[in-house]
Amino acid sequence: MMMRALDHLEEWLITFLMGTATVIIFAAVVHRYLSGWAIPVLQDWLLGLSFSWAQELCIIMFVWMAKFGAAYGVRTGIHVGVDVLINRLNDNTRARFIIFGLLAGALFTGIVGTLGATFVWENGAHYSIFKFFGMNTGDIPEGPTTPDLEWPTWIVYCAVPFGSYLMCFRFLQVTAGFMRNGELPHHDHGHVDGMDDVPLVAPGNEDKIFRMDDELHPREANGENGK
C-alpha cells in the first residue's frame, strides 16, 4: 500500500510539474506577443502584468521534474542501457553483472544525495530550521535567494537530495525484484497506451497495401491490362 502511494505520488508530481510549467510558458509567450499590440486598455492592462518570474520558475520546475523523472525511469525501465555483451553471457554471470550494475547505481545516487543534502544544509537550510524552532542561529549564514522569485536557494536545491535518494531507493527496489524473480522492469518504447486492443487494419487486410487494387497503381503492375 505504501509503495503504491509512493508510485502515485511520484507520477502525480511529475505530471503536475510538467503540465504547470507548460501552461506558464504558454501564458508568458502569449503575454509577450499581445503586449506588443497597440490595443487601448488591453495593452495597458497587459503591460501592468509581470511575467519576469516565469522563466526562473519553469527552470526550477523542470529541474525537479528531471530528478524525479530519473527515479521514475529506474522503476519502469525507461533508461536506455547497452547490454549487448551482458546478454551474451550465461545466466549466472549475467545476473551477477546486472546486480553489480544496479548496486553501483544505488551507491552513486546515494553519494550524490548525501553530498546534495550537505550542500542544502550549508546553503541556508541550517539557518532556516534553527530560526523556525526559535534556536540561536549565531553566525550561521542565512543563505542566498533566487534572483526573480527571491526564494531561498536551499529549497530549490532540495531537488538533488530528494530526487537522488528516491533514485537510490528505486535501484535497490529493482535489485530486490531481480534477485527475487530474475526480471527487470522493461518499457516498450513503441508501445502507446490505449492502443493494445485497437487493430491498425481490419483482420485479413494486413497485406492490402501490397495488392495494388486501390486504383492508385497502374493496372499493368497487377496483370489486368491488355485483356
Give the helix ranges, DSSP H, for 77-211: 91-120, 126-132, 153-157, 159-181
pLDDT tens digits for range 78-137: 887 777 888 888 989 999 999 999 999 999 999 999 999 999 999 999 999 999 999 988
**Burial (CB count within 10 angstroms: exposed 0-12, middle 13-18, buried 19+), residue 70:** middle
Do the Cβ atoms of 97 and 184 come closer than 8 Å? no
Residue carrying C-alpha cell 490505449: 194
Domain extent listing, the chain = 2-185
- Give the E-state strand segments of the chain in sequence order: none
pLDDT tens digits, residue range 155-170?
999 999 999 999 999 9
